[in-house]
Structure 1
Amino acid sequence: MNWLKSRQARLVLLVLAVLVALQFTPLGQWLSVDGLARSREALVGVVERHGPLAAIGYVALYVFVISLALPGATILTLAGGMLFGAALGTALTVAAATVGATLVFLLARRLFGADALERLGGAAERIAAGIRREAVSYLLFLRLVPLFPFFLVNIVPAFCGVRPKVFVLTTLFGIVPGTLVYSLAGAGLGAALAAGSSFDVSQVLTPQMLGALLGLGALALLAIPLRRRFARD
């Protein structure tokens, strides 16, 4: 049982324990679009009653999810837009995601060991190769266009000599467009739910939802020249 004494084993056990717990708690049921819709009134009530404390709680939960690479970040982003509006929801989510990602980046070597890059597989090696060629541009690209898991993009730079300032700034600015899109979608979802439980096209296609769809289209178009550039490099 010596393997249980390693940091990696303890981290894996912690993540597994949280995932199992989520299956048997209301939070696990809430982290879905259906659960979010069912809980909207209660969540809105919490935000109205507690204001800043609710925002702090949202940020803390988001940091926790990002730090442990738990499922539900997309649903939480939608919830941020639904509960706080597109603008504030985007600001809170960007701050929380940046803090969570930075914690992973700073602790990566301590948690996974100095030779972790060799054990993370081919995807990690491809990320590392791009970072070594052009760190700032490639990290921005990975944040704008999520070709690899968010958690992996948080870990690999720690083993490529990326400075914390570069990591924080590229994360902060790189995740804004995608976060804004999902926050707009969340605000649109909230507007549709507030209009009533029986949906029609006019209720679902709110200005916020249309903006989110246009944003997703713009990100997809942006990805084409960026992918071609880095493939060519």
Structure 2
Amino acid sequence: MDVADKVQTASSTTTTTTTTTTTSTAEPVTATLTLRNGRLDWEQILQDQPDQPQQELLPGTATSHQKQTMSADERKATKKSLVIVAAIFVASVATMFYVYAIFPELNESEKQHLKIPRDIQDAKMLAKVLDRYKDMYYFEVMFGVVVAYVFLQTFAIPGSLFLSILLGFLYKFPIALFLICFCSALGATLCYTLSNLVGRRLIRHFWPKKTSEWSKHVEEYRDSLFNYMLFLRMTPILPNWFINLASPVIGVPLHIFALGTFCGVAPPSVIAIQAGKTLQKMTSSSEAFSWTSMGILMFCACASLLPGLLKNRFKHKKEA
């Protein structure tokens, strides 16, 4: 009986210590010095009081253990996903080499310009080379530009603006507009798929604030998400690569994302195509966007939001 009483007394003392620690965060050392059964009591308190900050309850014990377990599972799944993404990237690069291999024979001075343009000068030189072979190898040239465009969009690599201007230079307006919208939608959809496969945890880790803010906007415009996607594609509020990567994380449906991208990139593409008609006279890509064109673009963007704003207003009136 004496031994049992001592054990019961020790257990009561441990419980009292942990209870005192939960009500006061001034003694974090008490928590780290408790026995294992004390830690188990802390885990129960964390479950019973989810609203209380975990850092105040017990930093480095139950919460960190839970994170380590989840991280191990996520790390294993992420590795598998990264292998798939790497395989897709290798296949894409192989496709680019295939396009290069089936392209007409070029002389040495032309080969150095057959690359993805990084500035307006690269776009000018590439335009001269492609324009020379476009009539004789019409579909080969078109296929090469399309594959390069989709590749850039899929892996969120900058440079698609120069390809949009290049398409405006090479082809008539309707063909160039369709090609740009198609390539943008297809590449963005593939980027969406890759992000959905492997990028969820990375997006939340590297851009938590921006993702959280955009999630609130998406929920606000949930009933008119297509119009909101149009607005985002027409304005530089969020970069296109971030929209592509973050959309699956915050719950934008794929069909709305793809259709919104196809239609939303049309107004900016019109400006790029018009710039392509004067490509050889341009000295900078910024010349493509005049104050007039930017004003028209902003008007179209605001107009795309109008149905959603009216819908939300009527909805609030009904609820009131």
Scaled by the length of structure 1, the TM-score of the pair is 0.72
How far is the alpha carbon of 1:218 from its aligned partner? 0.6
Counterpart in 2 of 1:63?
150
Given the superposition, is the C-alpha separation of residues 223 and 6 from structure 1 closer, same or farther in structure 2, using an over 3 Å criterion?
same
Secondary structure of 1:31's partner?
A: coil
Code of the aligned partner of 2:233: R
**Equivalent pair of 2:115/2:126 in contact (CA under 8 Å):** no
Q: Percent identity?
A: 21
Given the superposition, is the C-alpha separation of residues 213 and 65 from structure 1 closer, same or farther in structure 2, using an over 3 Å criterion?
same
1:118 to 179, 187, 204: 204
Counterpart in 2 of 1:155?
245
How far is the alpha carbon of 1:46 from its aligned partner? 2.2
Code of the aligned partner of 1:118: R
Deviations 1:98-146 (A, max 9, x none): 0000111122121214x34421412222222211221223212101112
Uncovered stretches (5+) of structure 2, i.e. residues with no partner: 1-74, 94-111, 314-320
Rounded Cα–Cα distance in structure 1 between residues aligned with 2:114 and 2:83: 25
Given the superposition, is the C-alpha separation of residues 132 and 175 from structure 1 closer, same or farther in structure 2, using an over 3 Å criterion?
same
Secondary structure of 1:147's partner?
A: coil
Counterpart in 2 of 1:86?
173
Rounded Cα–Cα distance in structure 2 between residues aligned with 1:133 and 1:5: 35
**Equivalent pair of 1:184/1:211 in contact (CA under 8 Å):** no
Code of the aligned partner of 2:243: V
How far is the alpha carbon of 1:161 from its aligned partner? 2.5
Secondary structure of 1:39's partner?
A: helix
**Equivalent pair of 1:123/1:148 in contact (CA under 8 Å):** no
How far is the alpha carbon of 1:165 from its aligned partner? 1.4
Q: Which entry has the higher C-alpha Rg, 1 or 2?
A: 2
Rounded Cα–Cα distance in structure 2 between residues aligned with 1:6 and 1:70: 23
Scaled by the length of structure 2, the TM-score of the pair is 0.54
Secondary structure of 1:185's partner?
A: helix
Secondary structure of 2:238's partner?
A: coil
How far is the alpha carbon of 1:188 from its aligned partner? 2.5
Kindly indicate whether structure 1 or structure 2 has the higher relative contact order, using CA contacts under 8 Å at least 6 residues apart. 1
**Equivalent pair of 1:62/1:96 in contact (CA under 8 Å):** yes
1:35 to 104, 122, 127: 122
Rounded Cα–Cα distance in structure 1 between residues aligned with 2:245 and 2:177: 24
Counterpart in 1 of 2:233?
143
Counterpart in 1 of 2:220?
133
Rounded Cα–Cα distance in structure 2 between residues aligned with 1:218 and 1:58: 28
Counterpart in 1 of 2:64?
none
Rounded Cα–Cα distance in structure 2 between residues aligned with 1:163 and 1:29: 31
**Equivalent pair of 1:85/1:187 in contact (CA under 8 Å):** no
Match status 1:99 vs 2:99? no
Choose 57-66 or 116-125, whichever is displaced more: 116-125
Deviations 1:169-200 (A, max 9, x none): 1111111100111111112325x58xxxxx9x
**Equivalent pair of 1:131/1:157 in contact (CA under 8 Å):** no
Query: What is the RMSD of the two structures over their aligned residues, measured on CA atoms?
Result: 3.6
Match status 1:184 vs 2:184? no
**Equivalent pair of 2:185/2:261 in contact (CA under 8 Å):** yes
